[in-house]
Structure 1
Amino acid sequence: MVDRRLLVDLALLGHSGVMVMGHCRGPGAVSSRLHLELKPAIDAQGMAVVFRADGAELRRPDGSPGLLSRPSRILAESLVIPRLERTTIDVSGVLAAIDDLINEFKPGAGSAEMLLGQRVRLRQVTAQAEGLRTELAIRVRPPPTVAEVPEPALGAEELAEWQRVEDELDGFLTVLIARLASQVDNRDLQLDFLALLLETRQRIAEALLVDDPSEDPVRALFLEAWGGLKPLLTRLEPMDVADDRDLRLAGFIAAGDALAALDALGPEFGLEISRDGLRRLARLLLAGDAPLSFTPLPLVEDPALRRLFGLDPDGPTVGPTIGPAMPALQWWQRLLPLAHANPVSLAESLRGVVASPATLDEYLDLVARLLDAVYTEHMDNGSRIPADYRELFRPLVRATAWRESCWRHYIGPADEPRVIRSSVGAVGMMQIMGRVWRGVYDVQRLEAEIEYNIAAGIEILEHYLVDYAIRRGEHQHPGGIDNLVRATYAAYNGGPRHLSRHRRDDTPASLRAIDESFWNEFVQIREEGWPPVARCFSVAE
């Protein structure tokens, strides 16, 4: 491609002669070079790019102009140029495959008048530096005028089906992103894939709380996820692969782009995300490796997924000195001062305990000791935090637990304790969203075991500190090393895309208030070793 012209330079070797006793006899081979420009155009049906040769010129083998023998000209004009002009790029097969996919996402779209093959035509093809560029023209019918009426609330079965499809989307993205991330050696690209997975899971968790029949969150989630996935997929395209994965990747990108483009056309092509449609889309990329179903969602640890996050595939380490050592205490025993209760492990001493004014000092002391014990065990088992930043981590763990839950794992009456849970489903002392971190952690253990919840929170904090805040140089901005603390908590609180919110001008006031409160609590814990108790409990500090 030169100056947006598709130039072709071919070496020709021609033989001429006559048949003599069964053999071709002549002066021998004649070498030459054929120079021409292939001009792309659209065929009469509008379904293929064709080429027309222009400015054909025969030259000597060294490229210099000169008179060449008549046989060379005949070969070029009768054989070579016609073959070049028979080259086509036909999109009808691709459109047929996309029609099949659309029919899965938009039931009823397979009727003759809806087929892309009947409604799409190529137009205006041009040569670009990176290749050929063409446009697709699509005929779209205006939607019928329908009087707007309020949509009825979703019934129980409809809501359950809606959530099943959201689960299917979650499973689809998990399988897809984990597979792609596992096939690349570029750690930055891996982390970008994993960040997209966490962000999309968080959006799905939030969407599950919305019961608005006038909106289709699954469709919006799919399109939003595709908007984040597409740039990452294009970074995979230049990679060398040993099989046909590059072709499947190109087909997958084309299909996703087509779905997004068709949805943008309006109600006629509005998408309905279905389980079968997601499976068909997955098969474009994963071929025979695509699962038969993406649900039910696994809720236990997945060693392969943990390994992708740079975590111990066997799960967080919670030793016997922290975990259960004796049977759980009865609720009435927990009404006694904790200092006089039977000696049990730190975690067991807090199992089912609701903080109360009568035992608040003992309670907070036990929590502080448990946080330190789990922290120490984590650091002793091979932390990835560089030595220069380790002094930040202990107060960061304590401050995060305080900001998220006021060091509480249980709330409610003392005789009916329940695990603290946020409106979006974050649970326990470290307020971890099982929906977001499933596969990385055991969802049931996040609720049932305080020590496991803390260990998981510490791993997540280290992940955001090392793989995001430090890797992306947050400490190189004004604010220095303190930025690492602010950025790590912001990502912990809101997801990877919130990493730099503490220093952005467009951060909403509500998030700024959260970050400022966290920072003040972190500073106090770093300097005094103790949180601002009065913020959570009505007692004097």
Structure 2
Amino acid sequence: MKRFGWLLFFLYSSNALSAGEVEIPLLAETTHLQAAIGRVLDFDETGQSTISSDPCNRIELSDMMLVTEDDKLSVGMALTATTGANVLGACRGPRPWQGHLALKLTPRVTASGLAIEFVPDSIELSRPNGGSDLLLKPVQLIADALLLPRMNRVQIDLAGPLNSLDELIEQLLGPASTQEGEQSLVQRTHIARLQTEEAGIRAWLAFQVRAFDLADQVPEPTLDASEMAQWQTLEDEFDGFLTTIISMLARSTDSPVLRLELLAALLDARYAIAEALTLDDPSADPVRELFLTSWDRLRPLMGELEGLEIPGLEVDFRLAAFMAGGDALRALDALGPEYGLEITRDGLRRLARLLLAEAVPPSFTPLPLEVDPEFRELFGFDDKQVSVFTTAEFSRQIAEGFRRTGSWLLPFAYADEIPPAEALRGVVPRLAILDEYLDLVARLLEQQASAWLTENDRLPDRLAERLDPLVRATAWKESCWRQLAGSPSDPQVLRSPIGAVGMMQINGRVWRNVYDLDRLSDEVDYNVNAGIEILTHYLIDYAIRRGEHEQPGGDDNLIKATYAAYNGGPSQLARYRREDTPARLRAIDNEFWRHYTTIKAEEWPDISSCYAVGN
């Protein structure tokens, strides 16, 4: 199985050499170079090889080591050589010669510019004691005859990935950058130069693209309603693209930490997409910004994957090509608007095909909205869906009867007989019933937090007492403890401008595949349980794992970090302690903390912060 540890693109050292000319460095690590030589020399899984020209003349190789020296590769191996002749059906000759072989190779770019070859400079043999040896010359002849032809076949062929990169670049530059029928890609992607260093061989991939005159460009008209809808569909397409890619990468590793970081990148992108969909700026290009931001998050994570054996990606350097494609787009964007880079549906599919080959779907939309158990399990959520308290059928019938009568006070009179979620079904808080309503919500939140602690043992014992006030304060800050809003006769689920719903204000776009979107709106207990699962996910898998409690402030930091991530995504985890946090977000975090400390002291939150109540 091929390994990908050798392919490390360094995005931030990409060079724009002249107008439209880009170089991207690629590092072929010594471990991969050694594996490539081992394949040509037929090394087996035990690290040994036997090469022969006839039964009486052969060499046995083992213990290969490769290092770089100046502009060359130095390959050392233990060697046992057997020489002789067939005499009357049997091999006759001296005892096998044992010693060390040192091979010098000079890397160079092939004439096509699409591969790296290695030219053998010399083969030197030596004994451990360094003394003279009568058999050295015949052994040298055998080694030259058997090894040199094979070493001339050592190549790292990048033709397939580089051709795919060319197609991707032309797709995303689009017709705007093509002049008078000429191709937008002036010079196709090729290996421009090589540089030997301690870690391996750095190859510089170069390509050149054609710019167009911005002065001749006709300004784009403002998008109409239909075009704006198509633009939003492109954002959906990007969401689907990113979900497909990240899920595939997560399945390729058994590392829980790497999976969590991949999930964090996905969630942050979905938070950003939800925000972008609320923008009313026809001149903005949110998909481009989303791609660049997401790529910067994913790039180092894929760098970690490069050193792993990845089933399904060992063919045609798929992971390497995908990473090169994203890096190339990043570099193209840095050239400026005159090169006309545009993220399109077809471009996203072509980029995905570099990684997924023919497994790429015809379209990433419409987005699947149902709960995906495999997705939940992949990213560390419980293999069962969010648990909710079951309710007896007679309780449902009682609650339905109350609603048919139009009495909003009767459910509270029976609050001890039916679960809080049932008593709250269809109820919009009003001043006349506010005390009873808030008591019911408090019971619901306490019961659900207690149930989570009973069913899970992941939270450290010292933090168990903090879960209930964390849940209550989050629900208060997010929704003022409301699942529904509007008039009592026509209650509607509470919905934020970016689409977050219900008591815990859970955004279905962000958490699709993880939760049932209809139940988030229709069932307050399901909504609360989902919110608790998200809070504990951020608390345990991110805040604790990343050591927020080790910062000045101790365990209080864990609560602050958890809410910051809940409110804005995993990238916001440390915003509560960063000096560059915008004042708007700092005010949100400070208000949450006031609610939390009040509730933790077993007091009610400030009712007047949500409801118009008198003295």
| Paired residue type of 2:296 | G
1:146 match: 215
Instruction: Choose 510-519 or 333-342, whichever is displaced more.
Output: 333-342
CA distance in 1, matches of 2:604, 2:443: 12
CA distance in 1, matches of 2:392, 2:300: 44
CA distance in 2, matches of 1:136, 1:289: 27
Q: Is the 8 A contact 1:16 1:29 kept in 2?
A: no
Q: Is structure 2 residue 490 aligned with structure 1 residue 416? A: yes
Q: Is structure 2 residue 394 aligned with structure 1 residue 350? A: no
2:56 match: none
CA distance in 1, matches of 2:89, 2:408: 112
CA distance in 1, matches of 2:561, 2:269: 20
Q: Is structure 2 residue 514 aligned with structure 1 residue 443? A: no
Q: Is the 8 A contact 1:317 1:377 kept in 2?
A: no
What is the aligned counterpart of 2:380 among 302, 310, 314? Answer: 310
Q: Is the 8 A contact 1:331 1:415 kept in 2?
A: no
What is the aligned counterpart of 1:362 among 436, 444, 447? Answer: 436
| Paired residue type of 2:349 | R
CA distance in 2, matches of 1:27, 1:373: 86
| Paired residue type of 2:377 | R
CA distance in 1, matches of 2:131, 2:208: 50
SS of equivalent residue, structure 1 residue 139: strand
CA distance in 1, matches of 2:515, 2:609: 30
| Paired residue type of 1:134 | A
| Paired residue type of 1:59 | L
SS of equivalent residue, structure 1 residue 362: helix
What is the aligned counterpart of 2:299 among 230, 243, 250? Answer: 230
CA distance in 1, matches of 2:98, 2:328: 47
Q: What displacement does 1:407 show?
A: 0.9
1:461 match: 535
1:388 match: 462
> Matched residues, percent identical?
48
1:7 match: 74
CA distance in 1, matches of 2:153, 2:372: 52
Q: What displacement does 1:252 show?
A: 2.5
1:213 match: 282
SS of equivalent residue, structure 1 residue 113: coil
Q: Is structure 2 residue 392 aligned with structure 1 residue 325? A: no
CA distance in 1, matches of 2:613, 2:115: 77
Q: Is the 8 A contact 2:483 2:502 kept in 1?
A: yes
Q: Residues 400 and 53 of structure 1: is their aligned pair in 2 closer, same or farther, counting only changes over 3 Å?
A: same
1:181 match: 250
TM-score w.r.t. the length of structure 1 is 0.88
Q: Residues 98 and 120 of structure 1: is their aligned pair in 2 closer, same or farther, counting only changes over 3 Å?
A: closer
CA distance in 2, matches of 1:334, 1:298: 39
Q: Is the 8 A contact 2:428 2:487 kept in 1?
A: yes
Unpaired runs of 5+ residues, structure 2, are 1-66
Instruction: Choose 20-29 or 395-404, whichever is displaced more.
Output: 20-29
Aligned pairs (5 A) from 1:85-100:
85=152, 87-100=154-167
Describe the superposition over 1:265-321 as per-residue Cα deviations: whole angstroms up to 9, x where unpaired: 344654433334333433433345444433222222211122234333331111224
Q: Is the 8 A contact 2:253 2:259 kept in 1?
A: yes
Q: Is the 8 A contact 1:32 1:58 kept in 2?
A: no
Q: What displacement does 1:234 show?
A: 1.6
Q: Is the 8 A contact 2:169 2:185 kept in 1?
A: no
2:43 match: none
CA distance in 2, matches of 1:3, 1:232: 30
| Paired residue type of 2:285 | D
SS of equivalent residue, structure 2 residue 387: coil
SS of equivalent residue, structure 1 residue 194: helix
2:561 match: 487
Q: Is structure 2 residue 345 aligned with structure 1 residue 272? A: no
- How many equivalent residue pairs? 538
Q: What displacement does 1:12 show?
A: 7.7
1:379 match: 453
Q: Is the 8 A contact 1:427 1:447 kept in 2?
A: yes
Q: What displacement does 1:132 show?
A: 0.8
CA distance in 1, matches of 2:131, 2:292: 56
SS of equivalent residue, structure 1 residue 6: strand
1:527 match: 601
Q: What displacement does 1:448 show?
A: 1.3
Describe the superposition over 1:145-195 as per-residue Cα deviations: whole angstroms up to 9, x where unpaired: 325765322223322222222222212222222233234222211111111
Q: Relative contact order (C-alpha < 8 Å, sep 6+): which is higher?
A: 2
CA distance in 2, matches of 1:194, 1:362: 40
Q: Give the number of the structure whose residues are more often strand, by fraction.
A: 2
2:323 match: 253
Q: Is structure 2 residue 574 aligned with structure 1 residue 508? A: no
CA distance in 2, matches of 1:403, 1:290: 41
2:351 match: 281
Q: Residues 113 and 346 of structure 1: is their aligned pair in 2 closer, same or farther, counting only changes over 3 Å?
A: same
SS of equivalent residue, structure 1 residue 132: strand
| Paired residue type of 1:325 | R
CA distance in 1, matches of 2:329, 2:375: 28
Instruction: Choose 315-324 or 527-536, whichever is displaced more.
Output: 315-324
Q: Is the 8 A contact 2:173 2:184 kept in 1?
A: no
Q: What displacement does 1:465 show?
A: 1.2
Q: Is the 8 A contact 1:205 1:424 kept in 2?
A: yes
Q: Is the 8 A contact 2:484 2:494 kept in 1?
A: yes
Describe the superposition over 1:475-496 as per-residue Cα deviations: whole angstroms up to 9, x where unpaired: 2221112111111111111111
Q: Is the 8 A contact 1:106 1:272 kept in 2?
A: yes
Q: Residues 38 and 376 of structure 1: is their aligned pair in 2 closer, same or farther, counting only changes over 3 Å?
A: same
Q: Is the 8 A contact 2:185 2:209 kept in 1?
A: no
Instruction: Choose 499-508 or 332-341, whichever is displaced more.
Output: 332-341
Q: Is the 8 A contact 1:338 1:363 kept in 2?
A: no
SS of equivalent residue, structure 2 residue 546: coil
Instruction: Choose 82-91 or 361-370, whichever is displaced more.
Output: 82-91
Q: Is the 8 A contact 2:252 2:310 kept in 1?
A: no
Instruction: Choose 277-286 or 185-194, whichever is displaced more.
Output: 277-286
| Paired residue type of 2:125 | R
1:295 match: 365
Q: Is the 8 A contact 1:408 1:428 kept in 2?
A: yes
